[in-house]
Amino acid sequence: MTSQRTRERLIQRLYDEGLSNPQVLEVIRRTPRHLFVDEALAHRAYEDTALPIGHNQTISQPYMVARMSELLLEAGPLDKVMEIGTGSGYQTAVLSQLVERVFSVERIKVLQDRAKERLQELNLRNVVFRWGDGWEGWPALAPYNGIIVTAVATDIPQALLDQLAPGGRMVIPVGAGEVQQLMLIIREEHGFARHVLGAVRFVPLLNGPLA
**Measured distance CA(159)–CA(198) in Å, rounded:** 24
**Measured distance CA(125)–CA(157) in Å, rounded:** 28
* Residue of 3, 60, 88, 96 with catalytic role: 60
By CB neighbour count within 10 A (0-12 exposed, 13-18 middle, 19+ buried), where does 72 fall? buried
Question: What's the helix, strand, coil split of the chain in %, to 5?
Answer: 35, 30, 35
Q: Is residue 20 flagged as an active site residue?
A: no
Please say whether the beta carbons of 173 and 180 come within 8 A. Answer: yes
Catalytic residues: 60
